[in-house]
Structure 1
Amino acid sequence: MGEVEQPPGTRAAAWMAGRGWQPFPFQREVWEAVAEGRGGLLHATTGAGKTYAVWLGMLDALLRLHPPGRAAEPLRAVWLTPMRALASDTAKALAQPLAELAPNWTLGLRTGDTPSAERAKQDRRMPTVLVTTPESLTLMLTRENAREVLGGVAFVVVDEWHELIGSKRGVQAQLALARLRRFHPGLVTWGLSATLGNLEEAMGVLCGEGERPSPRLVRGRIEKTLVIDTLLPPNPGKYTWAGHLGAGMQVPVVEEIERSGTTLVFTNVRSQAETWYQLLLEARPQWAGHIALHHGSLDRATREWVEQGLKDGTLRAVVATSSLDLGVDFLPVERVLQVGSAKGVARMLQRAGRSGHAPGRPSRVTLVPTHTMEIVEAAAARRAAQDGRVEKRVAPDKPLDVLVQHIVTIALGGGFRADELFGEVKTAWSYRDLSRAEFDWVVAFCERGGESLGAYPEYHRIVRDAEGIYRVPDAGVAKRHRLGIGTIVSDAAMQVKYLTGALLGTMEEGFIARLRKGDCFFFAGRLLQFERVRDMVAYVRKATRNKGTVPTWMGSKMALSTELSDAVLEMLHEAAQGRFTGPELEAARPMLLTQQRLSKIPTPDTLLVEAYRSREGQHLYVYPFAGRNVHLGLASLLAWRLAREQPNTFSLSINDYGLELVSAAPFDVAPVTSQAIFSGTELLHDVLASLNSGELAQRRFREIARIAGLVSTGYPGQPKSTRQLQASSALFYEVFRKYDAGNLLLNQAEKEVLGQELELSRLAATLERMRGKRVEFAPLRHPSPLSLPLMVERFREKLTTETLAARLERILQEMESDAGV
């Protein structure tokens, strides 16, 4: 009995003391909350000790309930991680105290990478602690004995909650947790995060409506030095456009790596990572074998080799994308370089935390601008981080495609009664406003395929038996559903292999489709020559030519966050007042003074509007600083409203700072300068009218159809091509529009286009802010430093690289020859 009566956290503190560690106050706070049966959210700096704060508290509580005996306890705790790469590292961290405090208890991994023999072993007897992903946990819920297997789970931890909360994967996790709470009403759930701006709401999303006693928010404040600095180019110049400093930063980056220990070089997209890997090798050929490349399209064995090299400290540098953003512990990493804007404060902090990944060690991120405005962004990002202005993450609102998938999952996992499942789903945050009519529609859609698919038995996925329980009676439906579980949807990928059969990784089918035999391209850090495609595999050989193209992946460009946009405008306001404080603003001074001389500098209180005439016609520039997604909808909206008043045709260009409208025919700018065109009246109608909303919604419907199980990606070894998937989803889209107009999945497609792609709520808020600002109208004699990047964006669509360079050179020469510039 003495064991049971020990104060909470006694074992945890003793285990830490055995390693010469002292628990932080926030770790003790978590142990106390867990002992009280509370879930919650732990928000602490990367590398501060979040894992042991929660895990030691849970292990202590489990040992108080189940003193270790000769046999291993059945499954009691589940640790959810958003990435397979994290699962192995997490399991190693959890295993250390488990081996000492409960040596007979077992720990296992279950992800898409887990060998079938290991999964079969787990199926016979589950480990005491399971590290898994949302998809693998959902797959376990499809088992007929799901309640028996998972009913004893008393604790769940969701790691890197900020990474999941804003996506459909987070919704999938919410629904799985709601199910586990039905199995075990006393379930305790904890989330871990380092970068969240809306902590109370994030905790509510995680813990839902079903956890009692009330959850606790723990802020893990520890003293940790964070250094954010900027690698400044030697001569940024008076003008700027996307990428114009990029290759010129090659030597400064190489010199920084030479002066540092192990360095992570982050880029935002995979093509940029491939380019920078080549730039580093070009500058230092002797680094071959000592630097590496890491992104999600590379073969898993290659990624694991790189990760091990980082842990061992044997690699000098790794060029990576978001594939290394999350909590894998690379202790030897000393420096982080961020090439280009991080686009958000949270992402920058997350990446900074990859260095100095231990309590007491400083973290350092050095920002590497690729154009002059990114120098201003760097200063703004540092200020926003120092002020604690971190972006909020908002959970999706009742995505019905995820609910369709979940209902079939639960029907497989022992079946359900409609009334009970409706009450259970409503406890998940994203479905708290779900109506019974919407739920019944989803059940009917799973049962009969809606109004238009009733004649096709394969879409009768669930059947209600005489006892009122819905089940999946068809083995083929069950198999297709299990293969299709998940919410990560991307364009079909093709394997890339050498002619000898060695696998290099995967690439999007759209890029491969553009290649002809003999074309060369860079991939996985190698120059490859395309040979042929056979059975969804692209075969290549090592190229002997020196030049190649870099693959472009279809991932959408990230938009500047509101928090970072606001901070940029604050920095510009200082420059407008003649205050160039700090090295970044001093470096950007020539460009900012040129902007002030030719036009005006935007500020938080002013809306800059520029007008310019060229051989192309009339140009109008507006600078809301609201991010590229909002500017896409805004540019289309303004063009449509201007053409409604005076028929005209416009070309559009956008970036994170502003937008350009160009027309061969002159048009009246008075509706813009008077702000009448920024009205929020009839906004939804006008946005839909201004865009090819049908095409946008059809494209979004492909994802919805895949998640909802209407479209299958094929069986293992028999994948379907992108063209097949597009044709299938397009057919469903047209059938539903013609014969099932009330289909709620169609409504969801339109809602997601407006809410996620065009950020309609942010667009409405932007229009409101624009109406509240003073318009500064500036007729231009020459393109200004802010307008030139928008011209370049448009030129890139129709000019070759060489022609674009010549065009830019002529524009810059004309401006330099003008004495006023």
Structure 2
Amino acid sequence: MNEAPPHHATLAQDWFARRGWQPFPFQQEVWQAVSQGESGLLHATTGSGKTYAVWLGAMQRFASHSTGNDKPAPLTVLWITPMRALAADTARALQAPVDELGINCSIGLRTGDTGSAERARQGRRLPSALVTTPESLTLLLTRADAQQAFGQLRMVIVDEWHELLGNKRGVQLQLALARLRHWMPELIVWGLSATLGNLEHARDVLLYPAKGRLVQGRIDKPLVVDSLLPPSIERFPWAGHLGLRMLPQVVEEIESAATSLVFTNTRSQAERWYQALLEARPDWAGLIALHHGSLAREVRDWVELGLKQGALKAVVCTSSLDLGVDFLPVERVLQIGSPKGVARLMQRAGRSGHAPGRTSRVTLVPTHSLEVIEAAAAQVAVAERRVEAREAPQQPLDVLVQHLVSMALSGGFRPPELLAEIRQTWSYRDLSENQWQWALAFVRHGGESLTAYPDYQRVEPDENGLWKVPSRRVAMRHRMIIGTIVSDASLTVKFWARGGSGRSLGSVEEGFIARLRPGDCFLFAGRLLELVRVENMTVYVNRATSKKAAVPRWNGGRMPLSSELADAVVEQLGAASRGHFDSAELRLVQPLLQVQMSWSALPSETTLLAEVMKSREGWHLFLYPFAGRHVHLGLASLLAWRMGQHQPLTFSIAVNDYGLELLSATEVDWLSWLTTDLFSADNLLHDVLASLNAGELARRRFREIARIAGLVFSGYPGAQKSARQLQASSGLFFDVFRQYDPANLLLTQAEEEVLRQELEVGRLEQTLARLQRRQLDVHQVKRTAPLAFPLMVERFRESMSSERLADRIRRMVAELDKAAGPGGYQPERNAAIAVEKETRPARKPRPRKDGTPKPRKETGR
């Protein structure tokens, strides 16, 4: 594709007219901006036509008609997608106007799923438009002829930019764009986003150092958020069971629509709901399907094709279907449990009615009573568009180190020139000379402590001052680790077949399989499977008939509640405390809230509720900041440590998204301790690091950093190292650096990432400031109030009971319901508590020698 002649000025309008469509003003604005060579960010509702706004703009500027004989144009447009699963669907969407308008343009894919034959063809000649991922783009940039291959590139389009903005993949893309702009200063760059709260920041990060245009596609696209409410609710709720007593109503909702998506927050939850739906409606076999990221590519392709064709009644899925894929037949979206964030809920709602003018609808299915309040809050937050902001990371040096080696493969680099280029990215705009020299030394000889080891001498300057990778082996290994996505080692799941392996079903994390023995059963890919053997990173299975099964757990199962949604929940509780039960959701939970108010009080926008209680276990403090579980973990440890500086105390800690519990076996005068000084932000960083086992947290975080920086190698295909081996290797580096190279900046980065990402210290500081402005509302309670009950359950899960958790909870609920009087929910035989089968006992964690509490192990539940 070359610069288009004048008669192409109406190409986009012509194609819309052929289809009987009328372009929206935002689409016309993008076409005009691209025609003038401007870059920008387009923010518009899901399903409103963002793709054709930028793609037709690109064709209008660069396309030429085909004569049937001439070759397609060289690479002119790059389309970056955050998920390789979206690449094929995106390519099909881009192909439609190309074919109909007779444009001389070839469209290709380049992702981790691209076969070797296609890669070889692209090695000879890249297509006119290439759909790829950030990782594959960086890999292409390591080619020795990369500058020549990208020499005709004129435009880059970054789809779903909000999914990349706040993580290291987005930083990797920033660096790749800086390299492309260095070669082509007039490069046009556009980002697409649907759900984002800080648009100016998103635009500035993508286009830095230029500003560019911000186009907002405000169109009248109805978005309906409603709730599927049970006939009655528990007055003493607990998080953890999966709400399967809502199954009959979910079945009814699915029955009423042609095609539905049933979203869950975890893959484990998706597996269970899919199995439950099949058991409830055996006649739906073949009409409902399961979709998540651990299933085999072939399975996911089959499901996506079935959705496109309208052949499936419903799909139970996770975030694997959040983005981009266009499923016009989908009428309904159901969200099982809390969406955790406003942006996520809006994104999932947009999977239905995925076309301009069509209504998008999402129905929330609470899995316990407090999520009924969350559902009411979510409706208000979506109506007011309280969308979460995402911030780009600042100077992740592991990504920088990886980039230096990549650029050394791409014909080499001269340090002063590359430094100037890297500072043309938002994340490294303030990169210091000391940091730069450290990074150069690290890739040249591994820093101060690894100089004697040849494996870490990855880049060397030649006689002309050009820094290159001299070793073919180092080059090959580096190309295999390019990227910033790090997860636990996965094992392929295959059916057992004598004489050879059977069909692949997908992959599970090594940590789950390590707990099973041959003969044990587990649910996966919607099937009940029996473990036969584990060999060469492969799990061999047979179909099982046993009904006792474990469910695989994958990391990332506990997303924290966003600030925007948490604030909306507090507003709902504040309204209830003033006697306003205006929504159906609040009226349903009124019995719960009335017990809470009669035994204690409700939190509000101006108060911080604290409950203190004496029980046979000890002295309890329940606090409700509504700041999300990550912040509550840091806050609970901080408060315990600060009190422990004045009185020898040992605490057990429990946290959830709403609050925290501190429990001491020895007497604590909570009323005298609960002062504004306890919530001071003074010396916060010091106190947080002292209150937690920050060294161990940093060691775990360092594993990811070491992998990205190229210190540890995960192994060649078919011979990957186990998670335990990788942890041991990265732990060895961590110890060596701390002893012999304490100024190593990767150690500093590990500590900063623990504070910023795992403990959310920035949000913790904001929470402390907010709590100091609120009036402390302390209540001495005689028994566990409804808001405190889920925190008790969180603690029991890990530390207390050797009896079955469900039995203990059932007994506690009965006692509390009796104390609360008539009006409580009576669980049916197979509902509510009874559905919770994973109730294995756990050992009580021992306190550290200094008396400070150990943080709760995140299990991915």
Scaled by the length of structure 2, the TM-score of the pair is 0.93
Residue in 1 aligned with 2:201?
201
Question: What's the counterpart of residue 221 of structure 1?
Answer: 218
Q: Is 2:175 aligned against 1:175?
A: yes
- The aligned counterpart of 1:25 is 25
- Checking the alignment, whether the CA contact within 8 Å between 1:509 and 1:722 is kept in structure 2 is yes
Report the counterpart of residue 396 of structure 1 in structure 2.
393
2:188 aligned partner? 188
Aligned position for 2:784: 783
In structure 2, the CA distance between the partners of 1:66 and 1:151, relative to structure 1 (3 Å rule), is farther
What is the CA–CA distance in structure 2 between the aligned matches of 1:65 and 1:530, rounded to whole Å? 57
Q: CA RMSD in A?
A: 1.7
Q: Is the 8 A contact 2:375 2:585 kept in 1?
A: yes
Partner in structure 1 of residue 544 of structure 2: 543
How much has 1:768 moved relative to structure 2?
0.6
User: Partner letter of residue 19 of structure 1?
Assistant: R
Summarize deviations over 1:222-277 as a string: whole Å, max 9, x none.
Answer: 11111100000111131211045712111111111111120000000110101111
Partner of 1:553: 554
**Consecutive unaligned residues in structure 1, runs of 5 or more:** none
Does 110-119 or 791-800 show the bigger shift?
Answer: 791-800
Aligned: 1:159 with 2:156: no
Q: Give me the whole-angstrom Cα distance separating, in 1, the residues matched to 2:125 and 2:755.
A: 47
Deviation digits for residues 742-797 of structure 1, max 9, x if unmatched?
00000000000000000001001101111110000011111011000000011111
Is structure 2 residue 808 aligned with structure 1 residue 811? Answer: no
Aligned 8 A contact 2:110 2:130 in 1: yes
**Identity percentage of aligned residues:** 61
Closer, same or farther: CA 534–245 of 1 in aligned 2, 3 Å: closer
Aligned partner letter, 1:310 = L
1:548 CA displacement: 0.9
- The aligned residue for residue 472 of structure 2 is 475
Contact 1:9 1:28 in 2 (8 A): no
Counterpart of 2:443 (choices 443, 446, 469) is: 446
Residue 369 (structure 1) aligns with = 366
The one-letter code sitting in structure 2 at the alignment partner of 1:297 is: S
Matched, 1:284 2:284: no
Residue 61 of structure 2 is aligned to residue 61 of structure 1: yes
Secondary structure at the residue paired with 2:63?
Answer: helix
Partners of 2:637 and 2:799 in 1: how far apart?
20
In the TM superposition, residue 547 of structure 1 has moved relative to its aligned partner by 2.0
Cα-to-partner distance string for 1:369-400 (whole Å, 9 max, x where unaligned)? 01111111111111111111100011111100
1:413 to 410, 415, 420: 410
Distance change >3 Å, CA 790–CA 9, structure 1 → 2: farther
Q: Name the SS for the 2:588 alignment partner.
A: helix
Deviation for aligned residue 1:196: 0.4
CA distance in 2, matches of 1:245, 1:70: 59
The one-character-per-residue Cα deviations of 1:106-131 (angstroms, maximum 9, x if unpaired) are 11111111111011011111111101
Map of 1:512-661 to 2, 5 A cutoff? 512-661=513-662
**Counterpart position of 2:317:** 320
1:367 to 1:301, Cα distance in 2 relative to 1, 3 A: same
SS at match of 1:256: helix
Q: 1:128 to 1:64 in 2, by over 3 A?
A: closer
- Gap change, CA 1:548 and 1:202, over 3 Å in 2: same
Once the two structures are TM-superposed, the CA of residue 70 in structure 1 deviates from its matched residue by 2.4
Whole-Å separation in 2 of the counterparts to 1:83 and 1:453: 36
Tell me which moved more, 282-291 or 689-698: 282-291
What whole-Å deviation, never above 9, does each CA across 1:129-174 have from its counterpart, x for those lacking one?
1010101000001111111111221100000001111111111111
Alignment match, 2:307:
310
Distance 1:488 1:331, change over 3 A: same
Cα 1:303–1:63, aligned 2, differ >3 Å: closer, same or farther? closer
Corresponding residue number in structure 1 for 2:834: none
1:723 Cα offset (Å): 1.3
Flag structure 2 segments of 5+ consecutive residues without an equivalent.
823-861
Name the structure 2 match of 1:130: 130
2:231 to 212, 229, 234: 234
Counterpart Cα distance in 2 of 1:637 and 1:479: 46
Alpha-carbon separation, structure 2, partners of 1:682 and 1:20: 64
Equivalent in the alignment of 1:114: 114
Deviation at 1:554, TM superposition (A): 2.2
Give per-residue Cα distances to partners, 1:452-498, cap 9 Å, x unaligned. 11001110100011221111110000000000001000000011111
Q: How far did residue 811 of structure 1 move?
A: 2.2
**For residues 59 and 68 of structure 2, what CA distance do their matches in structure 1 show?**
11
Structure 1 residues 474 and 704: alpha-carbon distance in aligned structure 2, compared to 1, 3 A threshold: same
Alignment check: 8 A CA contact 1:344 1:564 kept: yes
Number of residue pairs matched?
Answer: 816
1:253 to 2:250 alignment:
yes
1:747 corresponds to 2:748: yes
User: How far did 1:104 drift?
Assistant: 2.8
Q: Which amino acid aligns with 1:360?
A: G
Q: Aligned letter for 2:422?
A: V
What are the within-5 Å matches in structure 2 for residues 376-387 of structure 1?
A: 376-387=373-384
* Cα displacement string for residues 545-600 of structure 1 (whole angstroms, at most 9, x for unaligned residues): 12211111122510000110111111111100010011111111111111111100
In the alignment, the residues of structure 2 paired with residue 345 and residue 726 of structure 1 have an alpha-carbon distance, to the nearest angstrom, of 35
Change (3 A) 1:801 1:498: farther
Judged with a 3 Å threshold, the aligned counterparts in structure 2 of structure 1 residues 50 and 777 are, in CA distance, closer, same or farther, namely same
Matched position secondary structure for 1:319: strand
Paired residues of 2:41 and 2:191 also in contact (CA < 8 A): yes
Any conservation in 2 of the 1:151–1:180 contact (CA below 8 Å)? Answer: no
CA distance in 1, matches of 2:658, 2:487: 28
**Distance of aligned partners of 1:120 and 1:814 in 2 relative to their CA distance in 1, 3 Å threshold:** same
How far apart, in 2, do the equivalents of 1:475 and 1:428 lie?
30
Deviation at 1:73, TM superposition (A): 1.3
Does structure 2 conserve the Cα–Cα contact (< 8 Å) formed by 1:68 and 1:105? Answer: no
Q: Cα 1:802–1:261, aligned 2, differ >3 Å: closer, same or farther?
A: farther
Counterpart-to-counterpart distance in 2, 1:286 and 1:101: 45
Distance across 1 between alignment mates of 2:444 and 2:66: 43
Query: What's the CA shift string for 1:484-518, capped at 9, x where partnerless?
Result: 00100000001111112221110000000000121
Is the Cα–Cα contact under 8 Å of residues 69 and 104 in structure 1 kept in the other structure?
no
- For residues 258 and 64 of structure 1, do their structure 2 counterparts lie closer, same or farther at Cα, with a shift above 3 Å needed? closer
Q: Which amino acid aligns with 1:745?
A: L
Pairing 1:331–2:328 present: yes
Q: How far apart, in 2, do the equivalents of 1:269 and 1:245 lie?
A: 11
Preserved contact between residue 419 and residue 436 of structure 2 (Cα < 8 Å): yes
Partner Cα separation in structure 1 for residue 195 and residue 820 of structure 2: 49
Cα 1:474/1:787, change in 2 over 3 Å? same
The structural deviation recorded for 1:802 is: 6.3
SS at match of 1:328: coil
Contact 1:68 1:102 in 2 (8 A): no
C-alpha separation between the residues in 2 aligned to 1:690 and 1:709? Answer: 32
Query: Comparing 327-336 with 89-98, which one deviates more in the overlay?
Result: 89-98
1:316 to 1:446, Cα distance in 2 relative to 1, 3 A: same
- TM-score normalised by structure 1 residue count: 0.97
Q: Which runs of 4+ in 1 moved over 4 A?
A: 64-69, 799-802
Distance in 2 between the 1:225 and 1:820 partners? 43
Distance in 2 of aligned mates of 1:717 and 1:361: 47
Instruction: Give the deviation of 1:673 after TM superposition.
Output: 2.6
Amino acid in the other structure paired with 1:736: F
Contact 1:9 1:32 in 2 (8 A): no
1:68 Cα shift?
Answer: 10
1:403-428 C-alpha deviation (Å, 9 max, x unpaired): 01101000100111111111111111
